[in-house]
Amino acid sequence: MGVSLDSKQRTEARAEANAAKLDTIRLYTLTELEPILGVTHRTLQSYIKDGRLKGVKIGGKWKVSEETLRKFINGES
């Protein structure tokens, strides 16, 4: 076919590297963030709605990455 073996190997290597990155991503639920930030669940939802805190809804629940949390705490978001 038109794809060389080297190209296939590079594609597989990229896929493996991306999978490894996913293994290291720490996601927090809003319930986990409440005691860390000392705010209520509703306040966290407001932060997300207002764009002050980045979050993603997975399975109907908001999740915040550790990187996003660090930026928020440091006033970078």
Which residue, 42, 31, 37, is CA-closest to 77? 37
- Tens-digit pLDDT profile for residues 8-26: 888 877 767 666 666 688 9
| Mean pLDDT value across residues 16-44 | 87
Distances (CA, A) of 69 to 14, 16, 34: 27, 26, 12
Give the CATH class of 5-73.
mainly alpha
Domain ranges of the chain: 5-73
- Tens-digit pLDDT profile for residues 51-70: 999 999 999 999 999 999 99
pTM for the model: 0.69
Distance from C-alpha of 11 to C-alpha of 75, rounded to nearest angstrom: 37
